[in-house]
Structure 1
Amino acid sequence: MTQPESPFGPWTGEWISAAQAVADGLHRIGFRRDFTLADPPGAVPLRISADSRYVLWVNGQEIGRGPVRGQPYRWTYDDYDIGAALVEGLNTIAVLVTFYGHDNAIWQRARVSSGLGSSACLIVDLPYAWAALASGPAWTARPMTAWSTLPGAGMLASLPVEIVDQRELDVDWLLPAGDTTEFLSAVPAQALHPGGSRRSRPPAYPYGALRPRGIARLDGDLVSPASATLVRPGEQPSRPPIDSVQAALSGVAALAERSTTESAHRSSPDDPLLWQFDFGRVLSGFVEFAFDAPAGTVFDLAYLERPHDPAQDARYVPRAGARIIARGGPGRFHALETNGVRVAAVLITPPMSADVRIEELRVREHVYPFAPGASFASSDSELERLWHAGVRTVQVNSSDAFTDCPTREQRAWVGDGVVHLGVHLVANRDWRLVERYLDMCDSPRADGMLPMSVAGDIESDSRYTIPDWSLHWLHGLWTYARASHKLDVVRTHLPTAERMLTWFEQYADVDGVLADVPEWGLVDWASVFTSGRSAILTALWVRGLREFAELCDAVGNMGSARWARDLVARTEIGFECFWDPNRAVYVDHIVDGIQMPAVSQAANAAAIVADLVSAERRTALARRITDESHLVSRGWNAASPDRTLAEKVQDRAAGVQRIDWDVRRWIVRAEPFFSSVVHDAVAHAGCADLLPRLLRRWLRFLVDGYDTFGECWDWGTPAHGWSSTPTSDLVTHVLGVSPVGLETDVYRIAPAAAGIEWMRATVPTRAGLLSIELVGGQLTVDSPLPVRIQTWRGEVLALPAGGHRIDLAVESNSGEPVHERA
């Protein structure tokens, strides 16, 4: 998308903070700027940033929230037009800035101990004509002590939990008439490091020059619950928020719930109310509600991804929620933190016997908008349902980053995002979040490897990584480059790609096979092996080397392309060590020179997509690893007929990978994430006609109201972005629409002869929408770019941009496919 010319020049606003002392850890600061207008103008551009997050209001009207997550050393700003919110007379710009203080799943701290970057700070800028309103000493600020939080509790419990005591909050502080007696002149937030010169305007460490956000504003519908139920759990002991709700839910499991539309009920300290608001599906956004309650009434919220089950393993229940303490009388709560939720459970405990009312509990979704135009429809309603479910799953995991799940972590995992990327390319005309993913993940460690998750606690702590996640990021770069032909993006990321591939090279033995690769070889949660000489990691590395070489060719980096291809040539011969001729499959790994018997879809699919499988073997291998009579589902983190979940968890903690299946009979099925590679392999082997059957396995997730795909076949979150491969597979493999490559600006059209009565789609390309319809064997295409159409008889037609009709199954008397201009 073309960006409009900016009305801004160098920054005139400066970073500011509060003059008053602030608490260690999480704190919030309110900033104000009052000014008078005789004649409000039609447009007033404003740009703004803060650390960690801000909410911007003008005259009490919310304008926006931000900034987007990222590494502090390449921080971003947002821009708005506030003109429509201005009035004649007194006006107020108000900003609430949250500083998280400690690393969490969605934010990482700057490595500074004082000055700029060590506490909440804000910068606001306007064009020259309005420069007097830019952040500086004319702004006022005060710490907002009404808020606090809970400390994080590990990787699965590190989202901010909002606690607000509204008795300490002046709700009118956003308005021109608000009480400003505790607001003092803001002070500059200065870079205090040696050489920093106490600089308070960009560029300044740690935030650098400040870059535009580069992605669309997040938005969504205001959604009401599908049902509401009420139960009285009896007197509850004092507990932290979330824990209090979970305990109350467990205690009332045997009590009958009552559906009700009444919002007001009598309650007391020994007779609290427990509401459950079920939205019927997973949402992602800000919870809000209205209430009327005595001062000191506690509203504890727990955001659940599924109806409460006391038997569920507590380790995988989202630790997400809030606590609101009423100031007395009517009130409202608008969450500052975004969360994923299907069921909002609310425990209401007043300090005395009183009528308590709660109403209008809703979720304002806050997700990345999908630009309209892309579509998929079919005579097979199940396939159509799968396409839409994949889009929905990715959208609730597309915010300011590609995230794993909205309910539990919201982390920006580097490997997961390759699936989100594929869905955006076929279902969203706006590809800016794809570029944001590639850019934000390009944040390598000192040794060249990418963190397994970025812009949060994991990257900040410099933890171990998942080596294969870096290879999936490279695959995403290659996929996007082919679709966009943006060579500037390629040039930006190639140095990181080369360093990462070189990291793997140190573990390549004399045959080019990767052996004893350290850190966490996840692959996905299936029971696969990467120890010793690893077929899976070697094949993914080779795929990465081939893709890297193609990218190098496109930008003229012939030396690096030759280096990569030389490594591939050596490994092509060495990889044969994994072939088991008796079973006609590749084994997962070799230990001490001995082929281990475990076989997985992952190892064989990776070998196919890496072009390490000969043409003679390829088709038979693809069919063998997708034959249900050979497959078994096993996971290191899932119970099996022979091992309980507790035993599996104990094994993991002890570093034990226990085989609990007939290892010589079964092939271990990939979980939903790596199934994307399996499906790529199936299509690459010329067996795309198998994919409709394989994709129907995802229908198991679409039950009980859910319209999203779950994390794994037998466990996990119900809305996991990495599971969304059916959407891209239906377009790229079943309908066969994909860019040919970087060497030519042409699309390949190769529909699978899958026996589906009809399918049609509109698919984004860099030049506009491509429409395709397949009815029986009759193909109609209207493309903004030239196309190469492959018929079911094996012929290839090179055709110009425009409309075309082709019979894929029939050839004319001349021996050529039947073709006409549409």
Structure 2
Amino acid sequence: MHKNIILQKWKFWMFFIICFQFCCLAQEISELPNGVKGFWTQGSLNNDFLNDWKAQWIWLPESVKNDVMLARRNFTLSKKPESSKFLITASSKYELYINGTYICQGPARSAPHHQSFDIFDVSSLLIKGENCIAVRVHYQRGTTSYHLNGRAGLLVQLDIEDETKTKSIVSDENWKVHPDLSWDSNSKPISRFQLVVNDNINLNQKITGFELINFDDSKWSQGLPLLRNSGWPSPKKDEKAKSLTTPWTSLIPRDIPYLNETDITPIKLIEAKQVPIEDIEKASILLSGGIQKEVDKSYEKYLKGKAPLSIQLSETDKVWFLLFDFGKVISGMPKLEIKGVKNTEVSILSAPFIVGDVFTHHIVASNFKDELVLSGKKDTWQAMYFKPARYMAVVIKGSPVEIYDLSIHQLEYPFELKGHISTPEAPWIEALWEASVKTINTCTTDAFTDNYRERRQYAQTGYYAAKGNYFTYGDFALQRRYLIQVAQEQEAGGLMPAYAPLTGDDYMVILDSNCLWVRSLHDYLLYSGDFDTVKELLPSAKKLMSLLHSYTNGLGVLDSPPYAYWLDHALNDRRGANLCLNGHYQGALKDFSKILEWLEDEHAQLYRNRALLLKESVRTQFWDANKELFVDAVIDGEQSKMFSEHANAMALAEGIATQKQAKVISKFLLAKDKHNFIKRENGVTMVTPAMSYFLHKGLADYSNEEAALNMLNTRFGHMLEPHANGTLWEEWWRNGTGRIGKFQERTRSDAQTESAFPPALFAKYVLGVEVTKPGMSEVVIKRRKVNLFNIDGEIPSPHGILTVSWDIGNESSLNLNIPEGMLIKIDLDSFNLEDKKGIFINGEKINNSNFLELRKGSHKISF
């Protein structure tokens, strides 16, 4: 017995030693409010400590049908603990309280077959005597895990040292549970792209104070431990529930930081008037900028904290419409403290932007509308799920109300901005850099999502988003997680889904997404140097590349593949062998061969050879000598009659075009003809914002740096006009579509991380920085052909910040500050000097050579 006690205490304290070591080395700790610490890891902590689960998954009794469960457990401690280990996860969202204090929400997005759980030290909130854990959980109906049905559940375990033993409080039948009767389980989805829903709340039924220690839960039910609910034979009734049960067949410690949660208040009230009820039903409010005088006076007092915002009784057949501006797009849950006559109906409408003078909360297939019924008392409410909102409207039907607090509870990934660029002679470069930063931040909570309406972690999104991220935030956790989660959904044949985790039975396949997953793996290794993760994912990558190869013809070209490909829905000839798709495949072949080379894998040459064959085949088979452009596709040996910027951009970006071909293509692409962002005057289909990365890269790679960057400014510049949000859009317009050639009067997303690639272009073609070896251990710097005389930049790396400063004049210089662990190779040929003997390094002449190698420290190259 004595040995068992010693072993238990040893394992308990070793957990904290391990967490402390990982936190110090990899910043794997988040400081949450009230002294709570949140642990996370980019690697694998010792499973002997993290997976020592005693808890059982629990939910409401089978006879109770509700999507929201309130759960609580009181327990007694003989003394206040110095430390604790608290583990929690749920399907699908939890809100955690300890002794009445809100901690956070979670877990991070995951599929149940690799269920993410959170880890805390909550000892700062525990007390001697009686304590209480309380959790509110919402289940997103419809979630699936491969072929297993989704399931509602909560899993909690608290381990603390209590005198001579480890005391564990676990979720089991000793917990008290109750449905949240205020919640309508028929609440409407926010979007067709996801399972999260709007709130439909009757505050008359709200159970208040359930998170407090002294709350009376004597009439609540016992928690129902969950046994396996699929497969034959069924489990026996006397079996004991475990922490692993279908569909939660694996538990994975959180691998990204915890989100920052902050209450944000609006910057101004921009509309306050009564409108016809039918206008609300049509979701279309014509704005006049008018604020009713009494409301204006009341709002002034509200802002000063002297009184609530008072709204009088509305007229018959009208409702009050109050529209607030938060100044920027915020991902967060609308929040109200309000008092009105019992059964007063209040709606909260959210929108990220306003087009023209019309407010709508419908953004394509999204509906950001929460509906409340007031209790007659002072009610507090916070939406279950976040909305992307710059503008939030409060619609009040009938009786007068008093608003005591109105805000948005923001969820924000804890990005740390590290990268920077300064180009005084071209301020638009700085503006696009900042817009990329803002776009990534706007669309990111617990994943790089395509935009704020779909919220899906698409495989191609990770590629483009990371292009901006690596040079601005320098975050690796999100990218690592995306690569892993897509691979976790890989089919046996090698195919990967377009997004992960899956949220239903829609196993969407996009072949270019598959190619871009491989390319993302290459970039992740290049910038992070995380060989361990890449080695773990290598079998998945090999399986995928083998599958793609099986779709090629004798010329090594992907030809009539059995799955769809995206190309951002743009008009493109998708019959037979498509050049743009093969451009993605060409890039995947090159990048994968490089991964294998870095891993010293003998098969690297095989993929290099496949890339060379594909390159030669596309160069010859897809080139229209009369048009002097590459065609969209080749169908049964016949060239398509369709031409696009997509195809020709890929031919440049992937180095397929010869110098002669590139010269005429570049001239054609750079011609300043008329266009409507769908087609050019000559009939060629234009790239969409995401695909334009390859257009600008390709032009710059063939010595058109200045022109390529100017085109970038011309095409994206209107997104940064004063009336917009300063983010980069999903399409060229917010109220139409630039993809299919048919204009549609509907809104699109004005923040899409697939458009946030400019920092990667600026780093290479303005600063002259190109990373050449994993972990940014080697970086080549070239002087670029841009007409700028003063360029300053800071580039994050695993080793620290690389500082680059160009001063071009009669006495030119390049100033560098290099972190330890990085080798800088200066390409002296790019300086275009007749005599390299005129180059000095830190005041000393250098030998006539092609490259100058520099390591840690500050260096000045004069020329």
The TM-score, its normalising length taken from structure 2, stands at 0.82
Residue in 2 that maps onto 1:297: 344
SS of residue paired to 1:454: coil
Residue in 1 that maps onto 2:467: 422
For 1:359 and 1:307, locate their aligned partners in 2 and report how far apart those are by CA, in whole Å. 26
Residue in 2 that maps onto 1:441: 486
1:576-614 deviation digits (Å, cap 9, x = unpaired)? 111123343212112343323332222122223333223
For 2:608 and 2:805, locate their aligned partners in 1 and report how far apart those are by CA, in whole Å. 39
**Is 1:389 the equivalent of 2:435?**
yes
Residue in 1 that maps onto 2:613: 570
SS of residue paired to 1:131: strand
**Is 1:627 the equivalent of 2:670?**
yes
For 2:392 and 2:499, locate their aligned partners in 1 and report how far apart those are by CA, in whole Å. 28
Aligned match of 1:745 in 777, 785, 791?
A: 777
Residue in 1 that maps onto 2:383: 335
1:538-562 deviation digits (Å, cap 9, x = unpaired)? 1211111111111122223323x34
Residue 467 of structure 2 aligns with an amino acid whose one-letter code is G
- Shift in alpha-carbon separation, 1:714–1:621, aligned structure 2, 3 A: farther
Aligned positions of 1:93-112 closer than 5 A: 93-103=133-143, 108=144, 111-112=147-148
Residue 183 of structure 2 aligns with an amino acid whose one-letter code is W
Q: 2:273 touches 2:290 (CA, 8 Å); kept in 1?
A: no
1:712-739 deviation digits (Å, cap 9, x = unpaired)? 1124211111111112322233212232
For 2:252 and 2:195, locate their aligned partners in 1 and report how far apart those are by CA, in whole Å. 27
Residue in 2 that maps onto 1:729: 761
For 1:672 and 1:726, locate their aligned partners in 2 and report how far apart those are by CA, in whole Å. 11
For 2:676 and 2:283, locate their aligned partners in 1 and report how far apart those are by CA, in whole Å. 36
Residue in 1 that maps onto 2:248: 207
Q: 1:230 touches 1:273 (CA, 8 Å); kept in 2?
A: no
Query: How big is the alpha-carbon RMSD for the aligned residues of Structure 1 and Structure 2?
Result: 2.9
Aligned positions of 1:521-540 closer than 5 A: 521-540=565-584
**Is 1:155 the equivalent of 2:192?**
yes
SS of residue paired to 1:176: coil
Residue in 2 that maps onto 1:805: 860
Aligned match of 2:54 in 4, 8, 12?
A: 12
- Shift in alpha-carbon separation, 1:486–1:248, aligned structure 2, 3 A: closer
Residue in 2 that maps onto 1:699: 717
Q: 2:160 touches 2:168 (CA, 8 Å); kept in 1?
A: no
- Shift in alpha-carbon separation, 1:58–1:312, aligned structure 2, 3 A: closer
1:259-290 deviation digits (Å, cap 9, x = unpaired)? 83262111257442111112232211222122
Q: 2:630 touches 2:643 (CA, 8 Å); kept in 1?
A: yes
**Is 1:185 the equivalent of 2:222?**
yes
**Is 1:92 the equivalent of 2:132?**
yes
In the TM superposition, residue 77 of structure 1 has moved relative to its aligned partner by: 0.4
**Is 1:33 the equivalent of 2:69?**
no
In the TM superposition, residue 668 of structure 1 has moved relative to its aligned partner by: 3.0
For 2:725 and 2:224, locate their aligned partners in 1 and report how far apart those are by CA, in whole Å. 50
SS of residue paired to 2:167: helix
In the TM superposition, residue 201 of structure 1 has moved relative to its aligned partner by: 3.0
Residue 192 of structure 2 aligns with an amino acid whose one-letter code is M
1:308-351 deviation digits (Å, cap 9, x = unpaired)? 6669896726312211221222122222201111211221124x
Residue in 2 that maps onto 1:119: 152
Aligned positions of 1:314-463 closer than 5 A: 316=364, 318-350=366-398, 353=399, 355-379=400-424, 380-406=426-452, 408-442=453-487, 443-457=489-503, 460-463=504-507
For 1:616 and 1:294, locate their aligned partners in 2 and report how far apart those are by CA, in whole Å. 77
Residue in 2 that maps onto 1:796: 851
- Shift in alpha-carbon separation, 1:64–1:221, aligned structure 2, 3 A: closer
Aligned match of 2:176 in 132, 137, 140?
A: 140
In the TM superposition, residue 745 of structure 1 has moved relative to its aligned partner by: 2.8
For 2:825 and 2:289, locate their aligned partners in 1 and report how far apart those are by CA, in whole Å. 64
In the TM superposition, residue 38 of structure 1 has moved relative to its aligned partner by: 5.1
Q: 2:339 touches 2:377 (CA, 8 Å); kept in 1?
A: yes
Number of equivalent positions: 758
For 1:315 and 1:765, locate their aligned partners in 2 and report how far apart those are by CA, in whole Å. 37
- Shift in alpha-carbon separation, 1:541–1:800, aligned structure 2, 3 A: same
Aligned positions of 1:774-785 closer than 5 A: 774-776=806-808, 777-784=812-819, 785=822
In the TM superposition, residue 444 of structure 1 has moved relative to its aligned partner by: 1.7
SS of residue paired to 1:363: strand
In the TM superposition, residue 192 of structure 1 has moved relative to its aligned partner by: 4.0
- Shift in alpha-carbon separation, 1:37–1:678, aligned structure 2, 3 A: same
- Shift in alpha-carbon separation, 1:233–1:446, aligned structure 2, 3 A: farther
- Shift in alpha-carbon separation, 1:631–1:775, aligned structure 2, 3 A: farther
Aligned positions of 1:740-779 closer than 5 A: 740-742=772-774, 745-776=777-808, 777-779=812-814
1:344-400 deviation digits (Å, cap 9, x = unpaired)? 1221124xx4x3122432223212111243323331332212111101111121211
SS of residue paired to 1:597: coil
1:96-137 deviation digits (Å, cap 9, x = unpaired)? 11111124xxxx457546xxx532333334256553322223
Q: 1:29 touches 1:120 (CA, 8 Å); kept in 2?
A: no
Residue in 1 that maps onto 2:846: none
In the TM superposition, residue 481 of structure 1 has moved relative to its aligned partner by: 0.9
For 2:121 and 2:432, locate their aligned partners in 1 and report how far apart those are by CA, in whole Å. 39
Residue in 2 that maps onto 1:608: 652
SS of residue paired to 1:805: strand
In structure 1, the gaps of 5 or more residues are: 238-243, 636-659, 811-822
SS of residue paired to 1:396: helix
For 2:456 and 2:373, locate their aligned partners in 1 and report how far apart those are by CA, in whole Å. 29
- Shift in alpha-carbon separation, 1:245–1:213, aligned structure 2, 3 A: farther
1:395-445 deviation digits (Å, cap 9, x = unpaired)? 121211111222x22122221221111222111243111101111122223
Q: 2:182 touches 2:205 (CA, 8 Å); kept in 1?
A: yes
In the TM superposition, residue 223 of structure 1 has moved relative to its aligned partner by: 2.4
For 2:169 and 2:191, locate their aligned partners in 1 and report how far apart those are by CA, in whole Å. 42
Residue 176 of structure 1 aligns with an amino acid whose one-letter code is I
Aligned positions of 1:505-520 closer than 5 A: 505-520=549-564
1:138-157 deviation digits (Å, cap 9, x = unpaired)? 32111212112434497357
For 2:363 and 2:637, locate their aligned partners in 1 and report how far apart those are by CA, in whole Å. 39
In the TM superposition, residue 168 of structure 1 has moved relative to its aligned partner by: 0.8
Residue in 1 that maps onto 2:727: 708
For 1:526 and 1:220, locate their aligned partners in 2 and report how far apart those are by CA, in whole Å. 38
Residue in 2 that maps onto 1:465: 509
- Shift in alpha-carbon separation, 1:446–1:2, aligned structure 2, 3 A: same
In the TM superposition, residue 48 of structure 1 has moved relative to its aligned partner by: 0.7
For 1:391 and 1:743, locate their aligned partners in 2 and report how far apart those are by CA, in whole Å. 22
Residue 423 of structure 1 aligns with an amino acid whose one-letter code is G
- Shift in alpha-carbon separation, 1:318–1:625, aligned structure 2, 3 A: farther
In structure 2, the gaps of 5 or more residues are: 1-25, 29-38, 40-44, 301-308, 735-747, 833-849
| Identical positions, percent | 22
- Shift in alpha-carbon separation, 1:494–1:686, aligned structure 2, 3 A: farther
Residue in 2 that maps onto 1:283: 330
SS of residue paired to 2:760: helix
The TM-score, its normalising length taken from structure 1, stands at 0.86
Residue in 2 that maps onto 1:646: none
- Shift in alpha-carbon separation, 1:589–1:52, aligned structure 2, 3 A: same
For 2:191 and 2:711, locate their aligned partners in 1 and report how far apart those are by CA, in whole Å. 36
1:588-647 deviation digits (Å, cap 9, x = unpaired)? 1123433233322221222233332234544x2563354142574554xxxxxxxxxxxx
- Shift in alpha-carbon separation, 1:762–1:42, aligned structure 2, 3 A: farther
